[in-house]
């Protein structure tokens, strides 16, 4: 299974993808706390105060932005307080004007969606945020920032760009990620990733602006994304497809990421092909690569339940598959949202007890008519306790609890087993040791010389 973010990375540059898998190098700007908190605020505000204002046909001016921010004030304060407390406990050092920067970025994003979307579209009937969609037909999964729904299976896709205040540029990572996410949205509404019928728009929202991505994408762009998806799947399947550096890589040529790591692994590969890699480093590389691919194979195991469930659905149909899977004790069906206590929610179902391991991660799926099971509205939680006719679950944060209640309250719920993917965390120590050994054993450094 490959994630839409990973497909975008592989499309930008195959070597950039290989930095993560199998080498385990981290890249990017790191944890951008201001953007993370602003993203969380907008994810909850969009189907709340922003949608409420949208329904009044507001004018696209600063007075509307101020009015929306006033309606968001309580949400902003709660989210900021909770995040500041959590980040402080985890040892993050926040900037002096952190609170003001978050609110300013949230305000800029409200201005961006007001100018780029609200002023140009009628209010949608429903907005889903932070939705995971899994399309096992093509082994693709992604988490979409926002899905906007209108009648007649019309929909729009939004992506918050909170990590960078600059405008979005076409032809880069943002475009490839959006294409991958739209393919998942198409699958949700039509069962076919190549069916763009009903797609109103795909937009990235950044500080005080928006970017409208061309949809459907050009045949060349679509083919490039699918080719990169295939490449990423081959790498994750313990195969070594050839990689070719593009004419321009934003990491190596634009100096926007881990240039040193990329140079190191490319130079090491060059020495390996030439037969001049020092023998001790050759042995270390071989052992580390073996361990890395063992970790990647374990990553595949985290998706085993999804593939098993989809296999049953494809063979027997949804209703019979769910019935048989429940008899086998793999899933639980027929539940509804019940009492809420803080981050915990009690699900009510049939008068039987379903057995799940305590603290086991689960995926709560609200069954929607005409939507593939693993593309239905869903939220992640963990099991607290199972009782006769009840399952008590806990969400990691209060905003997730509120979102789950809002999105799942009127739907029959299926409780699916899930797993936590720790692949990146497990690969990173291997990368650190690999770099330490290489820096000592490779003569003359790791400079490629162009």
Kindly give, in sequence order, each residue whose CB lies less than 8 Å from that of residue 198, ignoring residues fewer than 6 positions away. 152, 153, 154, 155, 189, 190
The residue among 192, 217, 242 that closes a domain is 217
pLDDT by 10s per residue, the chain, length 450: 899 999 998 998 888 888 888 888 875 443 468 888 999 999 999 999 999 999 999 988 899 999 999 999 999 999 999 888 888 888 878 888 899 999 999 999 999 999 999 999 999 999 999 999 999 999 999 999 999 999 999 999 999 988 666 666 555 888 999 999 999 999 999 999 999 999 999 999 999 999 999 999 999 999 999 999 999 999 888 777 777 667 766 666 655 555 678 888 888 888 998 999 999 999 999 999 999 988 888 887 778 889 889 999 999 999 999 999 998 888 999 999 999 999 999 999 977 777 888 899 999 999 999 999 999 999 999 999 999 999 999 999 888 999 999 999 999 999 999 887 788 888 989 999 998 998 888 865 544 443
pTM beyond 0.85: the answer is yes
Whether residue 266 is contained in a domain is answered as no
How far is residue 132's CA from residue 184's CA, in Å, rounded to a whole number? 9
The CA distances from residue 89 to 37, 92, 297, 311, 349, in Å, are: 16, 8, 34, 43, 38
Whether residue 353 is contained in a domain is answered as yes
How far is residue 316's CA from residue 98's CA, in Å, rounded to a whole number? 53
The CA distances from residue 48 to 9, 80, 145, 402, in Å, are: 32, 17, 15, 11
Whether residue 4 is contained in a domain is answered as no
Task: Classify residue 143 as left (phi > 0), alpha (psi -120 to 50) or beta.
Answer: beta
Residue 248 per-residue DSSP state: -
The residue among 217, 249, 267 that closes a domain is 217
For 105, the domain range is 31-217
Please indicate, yes or no, whether residues 201 and 62 belong to a single structural domain of this protein.
Answer: yes
How far is residue 170's CA from residue 193's CA, in Å, rounded to a whole number? 22
How far is residue 396's CA from residue 402's CA, in Å, rounded to a whole number? 11
Whether residue 448 is contained in a domain is answered as no
**Beta-strand pair 154-160/199-206:** parallel
Please indicate, yes or no, whether residues 318 and 212 belong to a single structural domain of this protein.
Answer: no
Residue 324 sits in a domain whose CATH number is 2.40.30.270
How far is residue 295's CA from residue 265's CA, in Å, rounded to a whole number? 19
Please indicate, yes or no, whether residues 202 and 328 belong to a single structural domain of this protein.
Answer: no
The residue among 187, 217, 247 that closes a domain is 217
Please indicate, yes or no, whether residues 210 and 345 belong to a single structural domain of this protein.
Answer: no
Take residue 355 and report the two structure tokens written for it. Answer: 């057995």
- Closest by CA to 185, choosing from 229, 218, 233, 146, is 146
- Closest by CA to 168, choosing from 208, 210, 201, is 210
Residue 149 sits in a domain whose CATH number is 3.90.320
Q: Looking at the 3D structure of the chain, how many domains does it have?
A: 2
Decide: 368 and 128 in contact? Cβ < 8 Å: no
Whether residue 264 is contained in a domain is answered as no
Please indicate, yes or no, whether residues 37 and 165 belong to a single structural domain of this protein.
Answer: yes
Please indicate, yes or no, whether residues 198 and 325 belong to a single structural domain of this protein.
Answer: no
Kindly give, in sequence order, each residue whose CB lies less than 8 Å from that of residue 41, ignoring residues fewer than 6 positions away. 72, 75, 76, 79, 80, 102, 106
The CA distances from residue 445 to 26, 273, 402, 430, 436, in Å, are: 21, 17, 53, 20, 12
Whether residue 359 is contained in a domain is answered as yes
Whether residue 147 is contained in a domain is answered as yes
* Number of C-beta neighbours around residue 336 at 10 A: 15
Whether residue 5 is contained in a domain is answered as no
């Amino acid at each position: 299974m490959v994630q839409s973010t990973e497909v975008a990375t592989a499309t930008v540059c195959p070597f950039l993808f290989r930095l993560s898998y199998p080498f385990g190098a981290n890249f990017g700007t790191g944890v951008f706390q201001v953007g993370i908190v602003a993203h969380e605020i907008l994810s909850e505000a969009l189907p709340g105060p922003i949608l409420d204002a949208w329904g009044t046909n507001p004018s696209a001016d600063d007075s509307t932005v101020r009015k929306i921010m006033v309606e968001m004030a309580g949400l902003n304060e709660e989210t900021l307080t909770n995040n500041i407390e959590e980040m402080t406990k985890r040892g993050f050092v926040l900037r002096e004007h952190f609170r003001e920067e978050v609110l300013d970025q949230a305000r800029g994003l409200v201005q961006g969606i007001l100018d780029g979307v609200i002023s140009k579209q009628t209010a949608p009937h429903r907005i889903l945020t932070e939705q995971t969609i899994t399309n096992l037909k093509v082994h693709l999964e992604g988490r979409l920032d926002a899905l906007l729904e209108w009648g007649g299976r019309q929909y729009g896709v939004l992506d918050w760009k909170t990590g960078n205040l600059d405008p979005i540029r076409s032809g880069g990572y943002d475009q490839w990620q959006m294409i991958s996410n739209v393919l998942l949205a198409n699958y949700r509404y039509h069962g076919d990733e190549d069916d763009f019928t009903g797609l109103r728009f795909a937009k990235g929202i950044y500080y005080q602006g928006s970017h409208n991505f061309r949809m459907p994408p050009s045949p060349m762009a679509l083919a490039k994304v699918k080719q990169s998806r295939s490449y990423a799947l081959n790498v994750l399947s313990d195969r070594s497809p050839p990689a070719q550096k593009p004419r321009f890589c934003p990491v190596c040529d634009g100096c926007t990421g881990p240039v040193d790591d990329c140079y190191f692994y490319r130079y090491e590969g060059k020495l390996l092909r030439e037969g001049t890699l020092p023998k001790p480093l050759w042995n270390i590389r071989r052992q580390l690569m073996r361990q890395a691919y063992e970790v990647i194979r374990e990553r595949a195991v985290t998706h085993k339940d999804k593939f098993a469930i989809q296999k049953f659905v494809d063979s027997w149909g949804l209703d019979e598959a769910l019935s048989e899977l429940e008899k086998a004790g793999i899933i639980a069906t027929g539940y509804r949202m019940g009492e809420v206590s803080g981050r915990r929610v009690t699900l009510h179902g049939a008068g039987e007890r379903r057995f799940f391991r305590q603290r086991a991660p689960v995926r709560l799926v609200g069954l929607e008519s005409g939507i593939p099971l693993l593309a239905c509205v869903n939220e992640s939680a963990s099991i607290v306790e199972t009782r006769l006719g009840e399952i008590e679950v806990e969400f990691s944060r209060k905003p997730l609890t509120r979102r789950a209640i809002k999105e799942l309250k009127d739907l029959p719920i299926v409780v699916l087993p899930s797993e936590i993917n720790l692949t990146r965390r497990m690969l990173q120590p291997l990368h650190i040791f690999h770099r330490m050994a290489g820096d000592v054993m490779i003569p003359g450094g790791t400079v490629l010389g162009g």
